[in-house]
Structure 1
Amino acid sequence: MATDILVTTTEHIPGQEYTVIGEVFGLTTQSKNVLRNIGASLKNVVGGEIKDYTKMLDESRNIAVDRLKHNAAAMGADAVVMMRFDSGSIGTDMQSVAAYGTAVKYR
C-alpha cells in the first residue's frame, strides 16, 4: 500500500539495507480561483503573508508526496530516500510542485 512507503530526506535508513530501484517522482499543478487572486493582489499592496497561497503550496506538497508514494509502490519499492521538492510558477496564478527521490527495495 502506498501509505506504507517510508519517505525520507536522508540517504540512509537506520537498520535497513536496500537495493536502489530508480528515480521516482510525484507532480501536481495547482491554481487559486479569481476571487482569491484578487484578495492576494490586495494583500500584495500592504505586505504580509498571503495565507491562501501558503495553504495552496502546503496542499500541493502533500499531493506531490502522495503521488510519489503511489509511483514508488507501483515500482515495487519499500521506501524513498533523498526526497526533495522543487516548485515553480506557471503564469501568475499557477504553482507546480514536484517531489522526487530514489525508490529502494529492502533486502
Structure 2
Amino acid sequence: MSELLVTTTEQIPGQTYEVIGEVFGLTTQSKNIVRNIGAGLKNIVGGEIKDYTKMLDDARQEAVTRLRANAAAMGADAVVMMRFDSSAISSDMQSVAAYGTAVKFV
C-alpha cells in the first residue's frame, strides 16, 4: 500500500490512466491537557507551538496513509491531485482530510 503513488500533480509523466473516482483519508486529533497548558503559556510570549505542529504533521501522515488504503481498496494504482484540508472541530480537536482522484493505469 505504501508503494501506491500519491501526487499533487494532475498528470503522471509517462503514464496513461483512467479515473476511478474521488478518494479521501480522514483523521481527527485531540490535543491533550499538557499540550493545552503549554500552548496557553506559549500564547503569552508568542512563537511556534511545536506540540501542535507535530500533532498536525502526524495527522497529515495518518490522513495520507488512510487515503492510500482507500485508494488501494478501490483498485487504484495512484492518486492524482492530492490536497489537504484541515479545520478545528472545537478548541481542542483538529480534523485533517487528504483527498484526490484515484486512477488506474491503462
Query: Could you tell me the TM-score, scaled by structure 2's length?
Result: 0.98
| Per-residue deviation, 1:90 | 1.2
**How large is the Cα RMSD of the aligned pairs?**
0.5
Q: SS where residue 2 of structure 2 aligns? A: helix
C-alpha separation between the residues in 2 aligned to 1:33 and 1:85? Answer: 23
Report the equivalent of 1:81: 80
Same amino acid, percent of matched pairs: 77
Query: Could you tell me the TM-score, scaled by structure 1's length?
Result: 0.98
- 2:18 is equivalent to residue 6 of structure 1: no
Runs of 4+ deviating beyond 6 Å: none
Report the equivalent of 1:41: 40
C-alpha separation between the residues in 2 aligned to 1:42 and 1:70? Answer: 39
Please list the CA deviations of residues 16-51 of structure 1 after superposition, one character each: whole Å capped at 9, or x if unmatched: 000000000000000121111011011011100000
| Per-residue deviation, 1:71 | 0.1
C-alpha separation between the residues in 2 aligned to 1:36 and 1:21? Answer: 41
C-alpha separation between the residues in 1 aligned to 2:13 and 2:85? Answer: 26
Where in structure 1 are there 5+ consecutive unaligned residues?
none
Report the equivalent of 2:63: 64
Report the equivalent of 2:99: 100
Report the equivalent of 1:31: 30
Where in structure 2 are there 5+ consecutive unaligned residues?
none
Q: Which amino acid aligns with 2:5?
A: L
